[in-house]
Amino acid sequence: MKVHAIGVTTASGISKKNGKPYAIPSLLVLQPIEPFSNKPADYSKEDEAAGKDYYELNGYGLTERQIAMAEGCMEQFKGIKFPAMIDVETDSEFRGGQMVTVVTGYKQAA
């Protein structure tokens, strides 16, 4: 999958739940802003008065997105001069009881 990578980060700390250390590496990429709305077509003034919620996102250009990285693969991104177009390699892992896609490596995009 080709992406416009702008950096890599690791969020780390000690878990409140179990007191164990954690480290969560992420690849930061740019992607086009895609308008989104879950506002029902029949949303009314009564819905608004009742506090019925909805979410809308509108915009133009690019936005940042974080993609989870496999443990131990962050070092291989050290030599990249960001921003860079790269072709990421992915796999699936269980995290927090859910299957998620994680970046496992990359190749320079052709």
The pLDDT tens digits of the residues spanning 66-77 come to 999 998 899 999
Which range of residues forms the domain containing residue 7? 2-108
pLDDT digits (tens, 9 = 90+) for 34-49: 999 999 999 999 999 9
Q: pTM for this structure? A: 0.79
**Residue partners of 48: CB distance under 8 A and separation at least 6:** none
Of residues 2, 1, 4, 9, the one with CA closest to residue 63: 4
Total domains present in the chain: 1
Question: What's the mean per-residue pLDDT of the chain?
Answer: 93
